């Protein structure tokens, strides 16, 4: 199984496996941006749509080959 993509919000940070993506260190971040809203939709999952109340949000996305 591939390691998950993790999105956290104090600042917006996306972490991923370097062997699957190209980046100098596996992290792209912008400390001036924060997560304002989380919306998750897709087949086979319960839809989720909420406005963020703070900046301690973590979204974990697990991925792999089809």
Residue 57 has pLDDT above 80, yes or no: yes
DSSP for the chain, please give it.
Answer: -PPPEEEEETTEEEE--TTTS--SSSEEEETT----EEEE--TTS--EEEE-SSS-EEEEE-----
More confidently predicted of 56 and 23 = 56
Looking at residue 65, its pLDDT comes to 73
């Amino acid at each position: 199984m591939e390691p998950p993509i993790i999105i956290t919000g104090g600042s917006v940070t996306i972490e991923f496996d370097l062997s699957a993506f190209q980046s100098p260190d596996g992290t792209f971040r912008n400390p001036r941006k924060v997560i304002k809203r989380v919306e998750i939709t897709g087949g086979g999952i319960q839809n989720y749509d909420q406005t963020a109340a703070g900046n301690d949000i973590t979204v974990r996305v697990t991925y792999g080959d089809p």
